[in-house]
Amino acid sequence: SRPRRAARACAQPPQQTSTAQPTLRGCVLPAGAPGSWDAAGAAKPFVKRFASEAGERWKMWYAGADDAAARAAEDPVWEELSKGLRGGTVGVAVSRNGLVWERGSSAENVNPVLGTDGPREVVGRVLARNEGEWWAFDCAHVLPGCVEVFADERVDSGSGNFWMYYSGADFEKRPAVAARSLSAASQALDEMGGAEGAADERGLRSRVGLAISQDGGMSWARIEGAHHTKAAFCPTERPEGAWDADSNAAPSVVFHSKGDVRMYYHAFDRDVPGGGAFAIGMARSQDGMSWARDAPGCGRKLGAGEAGAFDTRGAAYPHVVPNPAADDGSYLMFYEARDEGHAASIGVAWSPDGLNWRPASAPVLKGAGGDAWDADGVGMPCFVHVPGGTSRLYYTGWAADGIPSIGAADVVGIGQEGQLELVRVDAAALTKL
Query: What are the residue boundaries of the structural domains of the chain, listed by start?
Result: 27-185+201-431
Q: Spell out the residues 6+ positions from residue 241 whose beta carbon is closer than 8 angstroms to its own.
A: 271
pLDDT at 150: 77
Is-contact 296 285, C-beta < 8 A? no
92-to-77, 125, 174, 286, 385 alpha-carbon distances in Å? 28, 6, 30, 29, 20
What is the C-alpha to C-alpha distance for residues 122 and 220, in angstroms, rounded to an integer?
12
pLDDT at 240: 75
Question: Which amino acid would we find at residue 57?
Answer: R
What is the C-alpha to C-alpha distance for residues 184 and 161, in angstroms, rounded to an integer?
35
Return the closest-CA partner of residue 64 out of 125, 1, 151, 137: 125
pLDDT at 54: 76
Ordered per-residue pLDDT tens for the chain, 433 residues: 333 334 445 655 433 333 334 478 999 999 988 888 888 889 999 999 988 777 888 999 999 887 665 555 555 444 444 433 345 789 999 999 999 999 987 655 544 344 444 556 778 889 988 888 888 999 888 999 999 987 643 444 455 789 999 999 887 776 665 333 233 333 333 433 333 344 555 556 789 999 999 887 878 999 999 888 899 988 766 777 889 988 899 999 999 999 999 999 999 998 888 888 999 999 999 999 999 988 999 999 999 999 999 999 999 999 999 999 998 999 999 999 999 988 999 999 999 999 999 999 999 999 999 999 999 999 999 999 998 889 999 999 999 888 899 999 999 998 888 788 999 998 666 655 5
pLDDT at 359: 96
Return the closest-CA partner of residue 88 out of 184, 4, 212: 184
Q: Spell out the residues 6+ positions from residue 167 whose beta carbon is closer than 8 angstroms to its own.
A: 142, 143, 145, 191, 206, 207, 208, 209, 248, 249, 250, 251, 265
What is the C-alpha to C-alpha distance for residues 324 and 118, in angstroms, rounded to an integer?
31
Type and span of the H or E element at 46: strand 41-52
1-to-181, 267, 268, 274, 398 alpha-carbon distances in Å? 5, 24, 21, 18, 16
Query: 27-185+201-431 — its CATH code?
Result: 2.115.10.20
Summarised one tens digit per residue, pLDDT across range 10-34 is: 655 433 333 334 478 999 999 988 8
